[in-house]
């Protein structure tokens, strides 16, 4: 029997038949660029568009990115360097790939790059129209990347850059690793973790006041590329190119927004939730005074609303009072704890903290005992809501015993 017949007779699931493409090639609403060139050399496909500084994406214009971009907000990035990066040293990067799982068989068929030159924003797309074009595509990307020192991406640390590096290794080229990599995903996650989603699209909608129309979902990209390869119909790739352009422009807009959110020292324009998150980040950075200021602003904002959210208040109060304690501002801490008890929020926490304060700072054992007992009865009454009540009860009883001994 012919080997192909034998192959056809093998058991198990057959390879998926090529299905007809039913992709609505999206109403490709290309962002208006002042000029656009598409150089279709023999080597691979190269697109370039030039955007003027007043080009708007949502709330922001591209030109709003400052001279020293992300300078004030630098603390948001892990492994940051204290080196100051000029706007001209940044290169914005976003890729489209043939698969989302990674591995050596996943190709980066499209590399989108953006950078500033004389105030204009240049957006380039390096497309591999078929497998044999990869080497030329990579060489071009390599020389672009080598011109700039810092890559700006969204989730590029764990996705785009490792995949791109794979391609370089497979083509036996050295990888132009950037000196700095500002991955906007991580600071966005810490600042906006209260939002239901931190995908780039969700952030655009919620923060940049921009919503995409007719855009494809990232998960559709591999199949669109494969259909394009089979049919060699460029219109199938148009939605992907469009999607990639939007991603890159959004990167700039998001960078502007990050800078505006975290970069000023006033923080007056931030929401209570943002202020709270920022306070937590600053706390981790050991910038305690700045952290306290953020939390105080957040606290004032929430308290000034007509019906403040109890959960939110409690969260802020717990954090803020801890911070006061650390900087030995007992007065402010005690005020918060007393208010918590009065307004019946986090009573257990507040009473235990007060008991500690009275015992260790004031040697007021009777007062401490009183709060401890109140904490115990609160705990017992609310035991149904707390999984750890037995443990806590033990602790508080231990405290009561000790205080009894000390007070007499």
Partner 1 sequence: MNLAQLREKLKNLSSLTHWEELPGSPAEYADFPREISDKICKTLEKKGINRLYSHQNEAVKLALKGKNTVVVTPTASGKTLCYNLPVLNKIIEDPGSRALYLFPTKALSQDQLAELHDLAESLESGVKTFTYDGDTRPEVRRSIRQAAHIVITNPDMLHTGILPHHTKWVKLFENLNYIVIDEMHSYRGVFGSHVANVIRRLKRIASFYGSEPQFIFSSATIANPGELASRLAGAEVEVVSENGAPAGPRDFLFYNPPVVDRELGIRKSYVLESKNLARRLLQNEISTIIFARTRLNTELILSYLKEQLPSSRKVRGYRGGYLPRERREIEAGLREGEVLGVVSTNALELGIDIGQLEACLIAGYPGSISSVWQQAGRAGRGRERSLTILVASSSPLDQYIINHPEYFFQQPPENGLINPNNLLILMSHIKCAAFELPFEEEEIFGVESTPEILEYLEEEGVLRYRQGRYYWMADKYPAADISLRSATSDDFSVIDITDNNHQVIGRVDYFSAPTTIHEKAIYLHGAGQYQVQELDFADRRALVEEVDVNYYTDASLAVDLRVLEEFETSGEQDFNYAWGEVSVTARATMFKKVKFNTHENVGYGDINLPEQEMHTSAYWFTVPASLREKLGRDALENGLLGLANLITNIAPLFLLSDPRDIKDTVQVRAPHTGLPTVYFYDSYPGGIGLSEKMYRVHDRLRERARELVEECPCQQGCPSCVGPGSEVGLQAKEHAVLILKAWERKDSYGHQRSAP
Q: How far is the CB of 4 from partner 1 (least distance, A)?
A: 5
Nearer to partner 1, 32 or 231 (CB): 231
In the set 33, 43, 216, 229, which binds partner 1 (CB under 8 A)?
229
Helix segments in 171-208, DSSP class H: 185-191, 200-203
* Residue 269 binds partner 1, judged by CB under 8 A: no
* Residue 125 binds partner 1, judged by CB under 8 A: no
* Residue 217 binds partner 1, judged by CB under 8 A: no
| DSSP secondary structure of 113-162 | EEEEETTEEEEEEEE-SSGGGHHHHHHHHHHHHHH-SEEEESSIIIIIHH
Query: CA angle, corner 328, sides to 327 and 329, nearest 5?
Result: 95
Residue with tokens 């602003």: 297
Nearer to partner 1, 96 or 317 (CB): 96
CB 353 within 8 A of CB 321: yes
The contact pattern for partner 1, residues 171-210, with x = CB under 8 A and - = no contact, is: ----------------------------------------
- Report CA-CA distances (Å) from 203 to 55, 92, 154, 159, 193: 19, 17, 11, 19, 11
- In sequence order, which residues have a C-beta less than 8 Å from that of residue 126 and are 6 or more positions away? 44, 45, 46, 110, 111, 112, 113, 137, 140, 141
**Dihedral sign from CA coordinates of 144, 150, 156, 161:** positive
The contact pattern for partner 1, residues 129-148, with x = CB under 8 A and - = no contact, is: -xxx----------------
27-35, 110-118, 222-230, 271-279 -> range binding partner 1 (CB under 8 A): 222-230
Chain positions 99 to 118 lying near partner 1, rule: CB under 8 A, are: 99-105, 107
* Residue 216 binds partner 1, judged by CB under 8 A: no
Interface contacts to partner 1, rule CB under 8 A? 1, 3-4, 6-18, 98-105, 107, 130-132, 165-166, 169-170, 222-223, 226, 229-230
């Amino acid at each position: 029997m012919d080997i192909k017949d034998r192959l056809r007779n093998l058991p198990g699931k057959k390879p998926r038949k090529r299905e007809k493409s039913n992709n609505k090639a999206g109403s490709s609403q290309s962002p208006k660029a002042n000029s656009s060139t598409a150089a279709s050399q023999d080597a691979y496909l190269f697109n370039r568009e030039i955007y003027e500084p007043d080009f708007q994406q949502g709330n922001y214009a591209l030109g709003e990115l400052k001279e020293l971009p992300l300078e004030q907000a630098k603390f948001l990035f892990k492994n940051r360097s204290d080196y100051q990066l000029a706007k001209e040293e940044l290169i914005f990067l976003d890729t489209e790939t043939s698969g989302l799982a990674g591995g050596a068989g996943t190709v980066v068929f499209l590399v989108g790059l953006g950078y500033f030159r004389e105030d204009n924003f240049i957006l380039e797309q390096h497309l591999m129209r078929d497998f044999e074009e990869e080497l030329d595509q990579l060489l071009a990307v390599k020389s672009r990347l080598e011109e700039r020192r810092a890559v700006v991406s969204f989730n590029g640390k764990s996705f785009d850059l490792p995949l791109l590096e794979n391609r370089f290794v497979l083509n036996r080229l050295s990888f132009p690793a950037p000196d700095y990599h500002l991955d906007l995903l991580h600071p966005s996650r810490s600042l906006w973790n209260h939002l239901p989603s931190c995908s780039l699209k969700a952030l655009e909608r919620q923060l940049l006041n921009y919503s995409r129309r007719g855009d494809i979902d990232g998960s559709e990209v591999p199949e669109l590329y494969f259909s394009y390869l089979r049919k060699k119909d460029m219109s199938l790739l148009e939605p992907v190119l469009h999607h990639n352009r939007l991603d890159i422009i959004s990167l700039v807009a998001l960078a502007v927004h990050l800078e505006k959110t975290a970069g000023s020292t006033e923080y007056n324009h931030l929401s209570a939730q943002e202020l709270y998150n920022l306070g937590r980040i600053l706390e981790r950075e050991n910038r305690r005074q700045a952290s306290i200021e953020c939390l105080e602003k957040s606290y004032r904002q929430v308290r000034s609303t007509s019906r403040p959210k109890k959960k939110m208040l409690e969260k802020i109060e717990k954090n803020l009072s801890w911070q006061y304690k650390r900087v030995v501002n007992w007065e402010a801490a005690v005020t918060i704890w007393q208010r918590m008890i009065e307004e019946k929020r986090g009573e257990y926490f507040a009473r235990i903290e007060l008991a500690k304060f009275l015992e260790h700072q004031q040697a007021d054992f009777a007062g401490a005992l009183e709060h401890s007992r109140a904490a115990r009865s609160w705990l017992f009454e609310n035991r149904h809501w707390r999984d750890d009540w037995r443990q806590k009860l033990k602790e508080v009883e231990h405290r009561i015993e000790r205080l009894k001994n000390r007070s007499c």
